[in-house]
Amino acid sequence: MAVVVDDALLLGVLAGAAPVEVQGTVYTTGLWNFRLGQALHPGASTEALARRLNQLAPERQRRVLPLVDELPPSIGLLSMRLLVPVIRQLDPAARLNLLAAEALATAYIVGASVLVATDAPLLRRACEAAEIEYSVTA
Amino acid sequence: MVTQPVSPGGDLETVVARARQLAIESGELLPADTPSYRAQVAEDVREFVLSIVRDGTYAAAIAELGRQDPDLANQ
């Protein structure tokens, strides 16, 4: 049993603060992992999140950011070497961007369900067409 | 949560099977007995993460990133 989680849920898992119990082997994708780092790191982070981070004492900031710097080995992440051939075979009519295509390809290869914090309609429909379980926590 | 069987058709099925085999050989496909990740973070860090997820700050941040780069957008 495995599940592919988006960046918001990955953050929750890493911090022990996931809104639902994430059972089974956890995978994420390179772009979800990248987006998490982009969102949280000063300089790369967005205005709203930068404000919240800046409200933290520097010592607390230094304890938050390492959460996303290195993915633990017990969380799966497939390389593009494996993913690209599968992504190239996905139905172009689904019009998935790379973020969604990577998630779908990971689910195919791992044989996993997809669990996200925010609904992504095109990804949801692609999962439904592929008979891959797709769930939204929020 | 129940994982559904995945049965892609045609060329996709072949490519997925090949990728799965390569993932096993390279160790990227984690063994079924891989222990679940157990977070070991301080309570104040956990509370900060909970707060930015619950109050929508994190969702707003990724929406902004998606506007800047369509390949990072939730579709």
pLDDT value of residue B7: 52
Best mutation target among A33, A54, A108 (most B Cβ atoms within 10 Å) is A108
Q: Looking at A40-54, A87-101, B25-39, which range is the least confident one?
A: A40-54
CB-CB contact of A72 with A23 (8 Å):
no
CB-CB contact of A78 with A106 (8 Å):
yes
Nearest CB neighbour to B30, from listed A47, A76, A79: A76
Task: Name the maximum alpha-carbon separation found in chain B.
Answer: 51
Q: What angle do CA A26, A27, A33 make, to 5 degrees?
A: 120
Q: What is the pLDDT of residues B47-74, one digit of tens each?
A: 999 899 888 999 999 998 999 899 999 9
Give the separation between CA A14 and CA A102, rounded to whole angstroms: 21
Contacts of B36 in chain A (CB under 8 A): 23-26, 74
Shortest Cα–Cα distance, B31 to chain A (Å): 9
Shortest Cα–Cα distance, A121 to chain B (Å): 6
Is A90's CB within 8 Å of B36's CB? no
Residue A1: alpha-carbon gap to chain centroid = 17
pTM of the model: 0.90
Nearest CB neighbour to A64, from listed B45, B71, B73: B45
pLDDT value of residue B45: 87
Is A17's CB within 8 Å of B3's CB? no
More confident call, A135 vs A47: A135
Residues forming a β-bridge with B13: none
Q: What is the pLDDT of residues B11-29, one digit of tens each?
A: 999 999 999 999 999 999 9
Q: Can you tell me the mean pLDDT for A94-118?
A: 96
pLDDT value at B4 more than 60: no
Q: What angle do CA B50, A6, A129 make, to 5 degrees?
A: 140
For chain A, give the mean pLDDT. 91
Give the separation between CA A27 and CA A39, rounded to whole angstroms: 19
Place of tokens 């520097």: A58
Residue A134 confidence class, pLDDT cut points 50, 70, 90: very high
Domain map of chain B by residue range?
Answer: 41-75
Place of tokens 């709203």: A48
Q: What is the pLDDT of residues A25-84, one digit of tens each?
A: 999 999 999 999 999 886 766 777 888 888 888 888 888 888 888 899 999 999 999 999
In this prediction the ipTM stands at 0.87
CB-CB contact of B39 with A39 (8 Å):
no
Q: Within an 8 Å CB–CB cutoff, is residue B33 touching chain A?
A: no
Give the separation between CA B73 and CA A81, rounded to whole angstroms: 23
pLDDT value of residue A20: 81
H or E stretch covering A3: strand A2-5
Nearest CB neighbour to B23, from listed A1, A109, A130: A109
